[in-house]
Structure formats: structure tokens, C-alpha cells
Amino acid sequence: METASRSIAKAVSYRVLGSTVTGLIVFILTRKISLSAGASALDVVFKLVAYFVHERIWNYIGYGRPKPPDYEI
């Protein structure tokens, strides 16, 4: 299970990358820096929260994880 701080670090690094791409796309389509910056800022806030919640929910889902042994010595 991942710690909350690791999930936060992953979410932040992923959002920096994703929001940069979003900002570039908006800028390419509109040629407006202010609109691009605003879209990037909103993208960071909303998707950072969504990613963190998604990661925390998946900590409770056992799919794809090995089962712990029935006993330990």
C-alpha cells in the first residue's frame, strides 16, 4: 500500500506534466497566453484532486495484487 505522501508526490508530478500539455494545446489553438494559463491553472486544481482520490480508492481494491500468505513463520 502506498503512503498518502507518495500519492501526493505522484499526483503533483503528473499534473505538472499534464497541465503543461493542456496549456500548450490551448495556446496552439487560441494563441492567447491568458486563456492558456487559466486553462492550465484549472486543470491543475481539478485533476490533482481527482487523481489523489482515485489513487486512494485503488488502495482498497485488491485487483492485481498478490494475496498475502495464509500464515507466516
Q: Does residue 43 surpass a pLDDT of 80?
A: yes
Q: Where are the domains of the chain?
A: 4-58
Residue 10: C-alpha distances to residues 37, 52, 68 (Å): 22, 9, 26
Give the span between the Cα atoms of 36 and 17, in whole angstroms: 15
Give the pLDDT band of residue 51 (cuts 50, 70, 90). confident
Over residues 6-35, the pLDDT tens digits come to 888 887 888 889 889 999 999 999 999 999
